[in-house]
Amino acid sequence: MSNIKYVIRHNDFAYNDEWYMTSEVTLGAIKAVYADQAEADQAYKELVVNALYENQMDNYCVGNGYLSNTQYQALNAFVLEKTSTKFNNHANIPKFNFDDAFEFAKLSELIHYQLLEIDDIKTYYVIWLNKRQKYFANGLSSQNENFVGIGWSDKQYSWLFEYEFEDIINQPIHSLTDSPILLEQFLNNASAIYYDKDQKMVTGVHFSELEFSELKAFNALLKQPIFEIRQISLEELAELE
């Protein structure tokens, strides 16, 4: 029996107070888990197509002129071919048949779900936020405890930690740790954590330049760690969401 499972997860688009930015995506809640690839593929496409018509294009990058010229040219050619009308990014999304609607969703970046192939025997790691008593990024998970390959390296998630660490900024390190000598040694060599040696306090953290392994080491030296790494199964991950 195969250990491979097919997981559909929601895409959470960043919001700029005017529209959702489809170029900035974090993985959201698990929608469904399948053992059969064909069944998963069909369910995934149905979810994408159904979500396509839930909002107007003006609510996303595509409706606000923030795709590339190449993308808009492709959208215009596609809509003209399928509907005999020109593409208008301020109009309602055209009514397509199922397959064409799925293709339009891809061309316009209106993909509200991801289909992931995973090995459900392996352990998953999640980040638990101690102060908030909740899982980071809607249960962001990885089969690597340093979260390699899930977006940290290309900075999809690192900026979210700014809110979690804001309480330690401009606080003297003796109030942050039971091991001030070790913490100071760490901070003196940290690549993206700004430390004022005279004031003996952290003045800022450049999360987009900070490796997760380094953030984890910093967190471990805190008297009250901001987060902890927990192990979890696929079934548990799906249930907690």
Answer whether 0.75 is exceeded by the pTM: no
Same domain, 180 and 90: no
pLDDT for residue 56: 93
Q: Which of residues 117, 147, 178 is at a domain's end? A: 117
**Does residue 128 sit in the same domain as residue 208?**
yes
Residue 150 has a pLDDT of 61
Q: Are residues 105 and 163 in the same domain?
A: no
pLDDT score, position 237:
80
- Asked whether residue 142 falls in the same domain as residue 61, the answer is no
Whether residue 41 is found in the same domain as residue 140: no
The reply to whether 202 and 233 lie within a common domain is: yes
User: SS in 3 state form for the chain?
Assistant: CCCEEEEEEEEEEEECCCCEEEEEEEEEEEEEEECCHHHHHHHHHHHHHHHHCCCCHHHEHHHHCCCCHHHHHHHHHHHHHHHCCCCCCCCCCCCCCHHHHHHHHHHHCCCCEEEEEEECCCCEEEEEECCCCEEHHHCCEECCCCCCCCCCCCCCCHHHHHCCCHHHCCCEHHHCCCCHHHHHHHHHHCCCEEEECCCCEEEEECHHHCCHHHHHHHHHCCCCCCEEEEEECHHHHHHHC
Which of 88, 117, 146 terminates a domain? The answer is 117
pLDDT at 241: 55
**Same domain, yes or no, for 14 and 102?**
yes
Final residue belonging to a domain, choices 117, 138, 169: 117
Domain shared by 111 and 126, yes or no? no
Q: Based on the fold, state whether residues 37 and 126 are members of the same structural domain.
A: no
Owning domain of residue 11: 4-117
Q: pLDDT 10s digit of each residue in the chain, 241 long?
A: 578 899 999 999 989 999 999 988 887 888 999 999 999 999 999 999 999 999 999 999 999 999 999 999 999 999 999 999 999 999 999 999 999 999 999 999 999 999 988 887 878 899 999 998 998 877 778 888 887 766 665 566 777 788 899 999 999 999 999 999 999 999 999 989 999 999 999 999 988 888 888 899 999 999 999 999 999 888 788 776 5
Same domain? For 110 and 136 the reply is: no
